[in-house]
Structures are given as structure tokens and as C-alpha cells.
A and B are shown apart, each in its own frame.
Chain A
Amino acid sequence: MITTPRKTRQGEEAPPGPGTPGRSARALAEALLRAREFSIGGALVLLILVTWITNPSFLDSQGTQDLLLNSSILLLLAVGQAVVVLTRNIDLSVGSVVGLSAFACGSFVSGSDHSAATMVLLGIALGALCGLVSGALVSFGRVPALVVTLGMLYVIQGIGYYWADGGQISAANVPDPILELGSGNVLGVPYLPLIAVAVLVATAYYLRTYRSGRELYAIGSNPEAARLAGIPIRRRVLGAYLFSGAVAGLAGALWLARFGTVVADPANGWELTVVSAVVVGGVAITGGVGSVWGAALGATLLTTIGSVLVVLKVNSFWQQAITGVLLLAAITTDRIVHTRTTSALRKRSRK
């Protein structure tokens, strides 16, 4: 792989120094990628600080716990969704999958002594199955992702309603060890955010470090080039849906553990919040750009805004309007930054 230099011009043996135009093009691109994550992170910190100053109880131990617990499920879902969106697809069925998984897990453990681990595995398996169906239709059936997953949203929702038949899972019937998963903690940090962060870190590491992870970016960036590069596109897209489904299934199991009481389709409408979180977090809806870190930050920001509005006693209807404005702002910035970067990078092409 290492080849001997054929032509040695002055200074070419050493890697390009910080002053060379090539380096500055790289620096520009990297700075812009980070800029998104930093600005969202900054906004998040600022928001929390201002609210805390206004109302110190926002960050007392109970308030912090609530904040962490509330973010966890959306963060999980955003990580799964980001992986799908990176491949230039979308998964609108996640809200229904969370609901079905929560209800199924609830029925499974009600009045039994099944362990939390078994229940979590059941949730993951059920979610993975849903993801497999969506993924197969998108990748092998070549049906547009928007249509497939919208259809799956209603199908899974329908199954959930049929199964629940007007009933609900009551917290009284859910065994204590399961509820302990939702409310317990290690050294003051609740389990749920720990699980969510573990999934986040593992996914980020995978996307960065494994060939198949990089191939997801490649597929979203230029499907035709991906085909010519011999990337197994359909298998990768199927994998992305499988992952998104499994994560949604896990989120469903955790939902039951956190709330105990579950009606049919509890996460109705969440799919749009999740997509918003991912886009606000800097994952391009056209694929190929962004990171799960950004998506996770986006999810945390959206959840925090919701909590802040409650603390500041602002009518919670504003939450949706704010989410909408953030989404539009994010997409507009993406568009502008994309055009500007392209022309800036062009100017910084060699010479």
C-alpha cells in the first residue's frame, strides 16, 4: 500500500503545513461540521442556565433527573433515525413501533415474574422485525421510503389498537424489577440515560470505525457512485432500518419501564419529533452528512425546550411552534452553508 514517492518537490515529503491551501479547505470543512454541534450544544447550555437562574428548582436533583429521563427515549430514537437518514431514507414508523413494543412488553410482563432483560430483548426483537419489514420493502421492493414507512406507521398502529382493544397496561400489574429499570439509578444517574448514551457511543464508534458504517455515508452522499464502488446498497439500507427498528423496540421497552401505564399507541406523533431532532442536529435530510452526536444533541435540545416551557409556565402549545421554527432555521442554514461551503471549497482547490 505504501508507495515510494516518485516526484519529490520541495516540502512534499512532509504533510502539508497549516498554511497550505489544501489544509485550509480541510479545516474549513471540519470547522463547519463542528460548528453545528457546538452551536446546538451552546444553545442547550444557555437555555438550561437561563432557566436555572430564573427558577433554581429546574436543576435540583429531581429536576435534573426528569430532564435526563425525558431526553433518553427521544435521544435513542434520534440515533436510530439518524442512521436511516444518513442513507438518504427516512423511517416514519418509529412512533408506532415504540407504542407496539411498549404495549407488547407490558402484556408480556403483566402479573408475571419475567426479568427486565427478557423484556428488553423482546422489545428489541419486535422492533427489529418491524424494521426488517420496512427495510425489505424500501431496499428490495424499491418503494420510496416515505411511502413504505408511512404505511408501516398505520399498519403497526392498527395492530396496536386491535391488540389493546380499548384496554391499557396498568402500572399496578407491572413487576417492580421492571419499574426499577425506569426509576432506579447508578450513583444518582438514572438507568435510562445511561442506556441511551451507551447506544449513542456505540453507534457513533461503529459509523466512524467500520467499513459498513462509512458505506452508509457513501450511499447517502452519492448512490450512483456507491453502486459503482461495489457497495451492497440494499443490504446496507436494510441494515439501517433493522437498526432503527431495534432501537425503537428498545425505546418501547424502556417506555414501559419508565411510565408503567401504557395505552395503545402511546408515542403517537413522535416520528415527526424524531425527524425534527435529527435534522436540527445537523443530519442532512438528503443523506451523507451529519453525525449521531448531532442528532442526539438535537433530541436533547427539543426535549429541554419542552421542559423549560413547563418550568417557565409558558403554554406548552408553544413547544410545537418553536420546534417548527428550529426545524426551518436548521434546514435554511444547511442550504446556505452548503452553497457557501461548496464555493469556498472551490476557491480553496489547489492553486
Chain B
Amino acid sequence: MKQSETGDPVPVLALTDVSKSFGAVRALREVSLRLYSGEAHALAGENGAGKSTLIKTLAGVHRPDTGTVLLDGEPVDFQGPADARDAGIAVIYQEPTLFADLTIAENIFMSRQPLRSFGRIDHAAVHEATAALMRRLGVDLDPKRPARGLSIADQQIVEIAKALSFDARVLIMDEPTAALTGSETARLFSVVRTLRAEGAAVLFISHRLEEIFQLCQRVTTLRDGCWIASEPLADLTEDDLVHRMVGRDLDELYPKQDTRIGECALSVRRLTREGVFFDVSFEVRRGEIVALAGLVGAGRSEVVQAVFGVDRADAGAVEVNGRTLPPGSPTAAMDAGIALVPEDRRQRGLVMEMSIERNIGLTGLDELGRAGLVRRTLERGRATDWATKLQLKYNRLSDTVEVLSGGNQQKVVLAKWLATEPSVLIVDEPTRGIDVGTKAEVHRLLSSLAAEGLAVLMVSSDLPEVLGMADRVLVMHEGRLVAEIPRDEATEASVMAAATGRNGGSGEEAA
């Protein structure tokens, strides 16, 4: 291990005061991190805390706005992923990026194949080296088979073999276990332990806290893009770690109005979609905001999409105001009074190239027209109405929605759906990627809509938002509804405990 002049070990890879913004969103704010060789270092934080941005900065995909990346104590400026790779940094992304049409051996040695004379690839050496890597990893994969059809676990093995093949000194793994079974995870961990013993530094991200404690020695916690702590895991309990990940005070960002809770508007009974979510039952009443919390991949968006009929449920029923919906029909759901504001507004919520008024008009083309033709004046009238109600900041209603800020785009999506006068409003991640000011406006809007008697179901990964807005919190873990927590008992610790599949969350009851 390289030593500095003072005798302290020099981190093999470090970030000092790194900041990175994407437009108005500050993904990283003066974050520092030190990775030493021979350690497995965990990176903890909620969804959106900046973990992925940090990894991509280390991998040379993003360049920091300010601050430096240090390699063996020397500042480096990665121009691209190739530079990071040449520096011995290997990244294994949650979803491996392989060339499906090429063989395993080619995937591992692409652009780095051993050569013969005249720059020709030595195919025999490529295959031998791949076979040797597979033996070293203790797996039985034919170097000459194509990558197409490999399981996620085997794809990750190929990625790890790639890292081994260039003697990576730093191995970064972004939620590698998310799609793995127990035995596959065990195999991965034994490989990682071997690498660590050989002197590699490992940066490990997982939402499963027990895995962090099993594998790692130190942990760095991020929250809202800020560095919170870097410390040995031996001194921590899981609760300490959860507290560092979420611990912050709620402020007036969440102007929750007291409302009169009315009769049941949406009732979901035993909804199941094979392999995605199971036996999900809950109710949402008029005037109530119910949050659906959980980690990414817990199946929350999938549940609301099945409720709205975008995806077809395999079993179970959805009732709106006492009427059972036919499965798999968004049109019927809309007619019954459900509105769904989807998670990805750019892809699913808006037609980015169309004007504000056209986007708002899309959900009401029947009312806005006569004989199949849309009347521009009606369309414009509806858009003007809603733009005023939601305090949309725009130049002209005929501008394309592309030019609006993220928050105002979200208001357009809301307007588009509120214009259908729904009785149940489902919002999926309503404030992701929105600046703080607009976020509060969206919250105020949701709150006042509920006060007017709308039933609101909100999927959110933003814990303060969940705690600040919801009358009740439903928590999902790995496709199942594991807890229902009333507002006065919902805390960051209780929700996170349920979401990470641990017991002991206060107010938890089997749902």
C-alpha cells in the first residue's frame, strides 16, 4: 500500500469536495470519499441521495463541476469511461451492459484483446484467458457462448471477470444484488472477499442493510447530495445507519391541511401480478392522502399501474366508488374517475414536442371537440383555466412543454389529469427532479385537492414528503404490502425499517 510522507496510507481513489449539478438539480454538494485498498466500503443513502452520480463521477461518465478526483493521491481528470478503466477502476452497474451478440470472451476483452503480430487479435489467447478467469471465479461458463440469454447473475460474473482481466484496483458495484437469489449473492460475496484480500478496494451499494454489514468495513452516507458521515461499520447498528440516511427535520415544505375523511373512493382487493407484486389490498378515502412508500423496485409503481389498468393484474379487483373496474383498461379507469400522473413525465406524462395547451387538452379530446374535430377555442380555454389555477409559469400557451422547468412540466401533467375531474388522483413520484420552491407548491396543491374531497394515492421515495403529506403510509417490500402506518405513528425510522424488510417499526401491522 502506498504511504504518504506522514506515514498515513494514501487512498487509492478519493473524491474531495466534489459537486455536480444537472440543470437546477444539485446532485452532489461538496462530497468527499476515500477508498483504501483492501477495504470494502459501503455507500449508503436514500433514493436520490446522489449515490449514482457519485459512482458515475468515479467511473469517468460524469465530470465534476467543482472538486477533484484523486488517484493514489494525485488529481486526475477522467475524460471518459476509458480513462477510468485504464486507471484500474471497474464499475458493475445494476443492469450489466453487455454486447448480447458477442461471445463472453469478446465481452470481457473488447478493445483490449491480446494481440499477435501486425495488430491482429490472438483469438486463442482471448479464449484461454477467459477460461482462466472463469476457473478463477469458480464458474462454468463457456467463453465462446454469446452473452445473449445469460442470467443477470451470470452477466455480473462476466462484468467481474472483465474487472479481473485488467487487474482492477477499484471495483465499484451499484446494487449488484438487487436481482440475485440468495445463493447467487453468496457466490458474489465470496468473489468480492477474495478480491479484497488481494488488495482491491471495493465500493458497494445496496439497499439491503444486512448485506452492507456482512460485507463492508466502512460506510459513507449521503443525504440530498451532501456528505453526512464516513465511519467504521463496527461502531454502528442498523438503526444508526438508517438515522444517518434519513435523519432530518420536516419543515414547512409540507403544508398539510386537516381534512374531513369521507367514504371510501378507491378499494384495491388482493391485487396480484405474477412475479411483480402479490396480494396487495388497501383503501383510499375521500379527503385522504395515502402514501405508498418503499425502496425502488419494491413494486409500488407497478401496483398503481395495475390499478389504473396500464398493466393487467393476474388476480384481484379494483373498485372505484363502489364500481368494480374491468381489468387492463385505462379508459374504463378514467371513466370511473381515476387519474394517474406517471413517474416519468418526459416519457409517459407529456408529449414534449407539443404545446402546453395541446398537452392539457389530451385527456379531454371528446369534450373539446365536435364531430371528431378538436375546437381550438375550447382547448385554449381549458388550458388557460388550469394554468391559472395551478399558477403555471409560462410564456405562451402555444410554447412546447420542453421549454418549461421540471416543476412546471409536472404542473402541466397535473393540469392534464385534474381537467378530467377525477375522484381518485394517483401520483407517482410527484416531485422527483423538481426544485424546492415548486415542490412546496405541488405539495400545497395536493393538500388542497384532498381538502376538497379528492382521494389521493401518492407513490414517493422521498421520505420527508411521505411523512409530511400522508394521512396513512403503506409500505411495500419486495412486492408485498408489509406495513400500514397511521400519520401520528409514521417516523423515518419506522417507515425505513418496514421498507428494508426489518421488523420493529412502530405502529406496524400486517396488511
Measured CA separation A214–B109 after assembly (Å): 10
Produce 1/0 per residue, B152-166, CB < 8 A to A. Answer: 001000000000110
Residue of B at shortest CB range from A220? B101
- Which of B81, B102, B128, B133 contacts A230 (CB under 8 A)? B81
Measured CA separation A23–B141 after assembly (Å): 9
**B80 is an interface residue with CB less than 8 A from chain A:** yes
- Complex contacts, B136 vs chain A, CB 8 Å: 3-7
The answer to whether A231 and B145 have CB atoms under 8 Å apart is: no
The answer to whether B101 and A25 have CB atoms under 8 Å apart is: no
Measured CA separation A350–B145 after assembly (Å): 11
Produce 1/0 per residue, A308-351, CB < 8 A to B. Answer: 00000000000000000000000000000000011111111110
- Complex contacts, B103 vs chain A, CB 8 Å: 26
Which of B67-75, B110-118, B311-319 sits within the interface? B110-118
Residue of B at shortest CB range from A32? B146
**A41 is an interface residue with CB less than 8 A from chain B:** no
Least CB distance from A33 to B in Å reads 9
Measured CA separation A30–B142 after assembly (Å): 13
**B4 is an interface residue with CB less than 8 A from chain A:** no
- Complex contacts, A342 vs chain B, CB 8 Å: 148-149
Produce 1/0 per residue, B129-141, CB < 8 A to A. Answer: 1011101101111
The answer to whether B151 and A349 have CB atoms under 8 Å apart is: yes
Residue of A at shortest CB range from B119? A210
CB interface residues, B 66-92, toward A, < 8 Å: 80-83, 85-86, 91
**B436 is an interface residue with CB less than 8 A from chain A:** no
- Complex contacts, B80 vs chain A, CB 8 Å: 230
The answer to whether B128 and A228 have CB atoms under 8 Å apart is: no
- Complex contacts, B99 vs chain A, CB 8 Å: 217-218, 221-222, 225-226, 288
Residue of B at shortest CB range from A286? B101
The answer to whether B129 and A6 have CB atoms under 8 Å apart is: no
The answer to whether B149 and A343 have CB atoms under 8 Å apart is: yes
- Complex contacts, A208 vs chain B, CB 8 Å: 121
Measured CA separation A350–B136 after assembly (Å): 17
**B125 is an interface residue with CB less than 8 A from chain A:** yes
**A229 is an interface residue with CB less than 8 A from chain B:** yes
- Which of B115, B129, B131, B154 contacts A349 (CB under 8 A)? B154
The answer to whether A2 and B151 have CB atoms under 8 Å apart is: no
A22-B140 contact in complex given A221-B102, A345-B148, C-beta closer than 8 Å? yes
* Chain B count of residues within 8 A CB distance of the other chain: 49
Measured CA separation A7–B85 after assembly (Å): 27
Residue of B at shortest CB range from A30? B144
The answer to whether B132 and A5 have CB atoms under 8 Å apart is: yes
- Which of A7, A23, A289, A343 contacts B135 (CB under 8 A)? A7
Interface centre among B86, B140, B146 (most CB of A within 10 A): B146
Measured CA separation A5–B136 after assembly (Å): 5
The answer to whether A289 and B142 have CB atoms under 8 Å apart is: no
The answer to whether B121 and A29 have CB atoms under 8 Å apart is: no
- Complex contacts, B132 vs chain A, CB 8 Å: 1-3, 5
The answer to whether B142 and A227 have CB atoms under 8 Å apart is: no
**A16 is an interface residue with CB less than 8 A from chain B:** yes
- Complex contacts, B133 vs chain A, CB 8 Å: 3
CB interface residues, B 292-341, toward A, < 8 Å: none
Measured CA separation A287–B336 after assembly (Å): 45
The answer to whether A9 and B81 have CB atoms under 8 Å apart is: no
Measured CA separation A288–B86 after assembly (Å): 25
Interface centre among A1, A16, A222 (most CB of B within 10 A): A1
**A188 is an interface residue with CB less than 8 A from chain B:** no
A215-B110 contact in complex given A2-B128, A210-B121, A230-B80, C-beta closer than 8 Å? yes
Least CB distance from A18 to B in Å reads 11
CB interface residues, B 338-359, toward A, < 8 Å: none
- Which of A9, A214, A343 contacts B121 (CB under 8 A)? A214
Least CB distance from B100 to A in Å reads 6
Least CB distance from B198 to A in Å reads 10
The answer to whether B145 and A215 have CB atoms under 8 Å apart is: no
Residue of A at shortest CB range from B99? A221
- Complex contacts, A26 vs chain B, CB 8 Å: 103, 142, 144-146
Measured CA separation A68–B38 after assembly (Å): 65
The answer to whether B100 and A12 have CB atoms under 8 Å apart is: no
- Which of A229, A343, A350 contacts B81 (CB under 8 A)? A229
**B106 is an interface residue with CB less than 8 A from chain A:** yes
- Which of B97, B102, B139, B149 contacts A217 (CB under 8 A)? B102
Residue of A at shortest CB range from B138? A7
Least CB distance from B128 to A in Å reads 7
**B120 is an interface residue with CB less than 8 A from chain A:** yes
- Complex contacts, B144 vs chain A, CB 8 Å: 26, 30
**B449 is an interface residue with CB less than 8 A from chain A:** no
**A60 is an interface residue with CB less than 8 A from chain B:** no
- Complex contacts, A30 vs chain B, CB 8 Å: 144
The answer to whether A231 and B110 have CB atoms under 8 Å apart is: yes
**B150 is an interface residue with CB less than 8 A from chain A:** yes
Measured CA separation A350–B129 after assembly (Å): 20
The answer to whether B114 and A1 have CB atoms under 8 Å apart is: yes
Measured CA separation A26–B83 after assembly (Å): 33
- Complex contacts, A211 vs chain B, CB 8 Å: 111, 113, 115, 119, 121
- Which of B98, B119, B149, B165 contacts A345 (CB under 8 A)? B149
Measured CA separation A15–B145 after assembly (Å): 13
- Complex contacts, B398 vs chain A, CB 8 Å: none
The answer to whether A289 and B101 have CB atoms under 8 Å apart is: yes
The answer to whether A25 and B121 have CB atoms under 8 Å apart is: no
11 contacts between A and B (CB under 8 A): A3-B133, A5-B135, A209-B121, A215-B110, A217-B106, A221-B99, A222-B99, A225-B98, A228-B59, A230-B86, A231-B110
In order of increasing CB-CB distance, the 9 nearest A-B pairs are A230-B82, A345-B149, A22-B142, A225-B97, A221-B99, A26-B145, A7-B138, A346-B149, A288-B101
| Extra contacts besides A214-B102, A218-B106 (7): CB < 8 Å | A22-B141, A218-B102, A221-B99, A221-B100, A229-B82, A230-B86, A342-B148
What residues make up the interface of B, taking CB atoms closer than 8 Å to A? Answer: 59, 61, 80-83, 85-86, 91, 97-103, 106, 110-111, 113-115, 119-121, 125, 128-129, 131-133, 135-136, 138-142, 144-146, 148-151, 154, 164-165, 194
What residues make up the interface of A, taking CB atoms closer than 8 Å to B? Answer: 1-9, 12-13, 15-16, 20, 22-23, 25-26, 29-30, 208-211, 214-215, 217-218, 220-222, 224-231, 288-289, 341-350
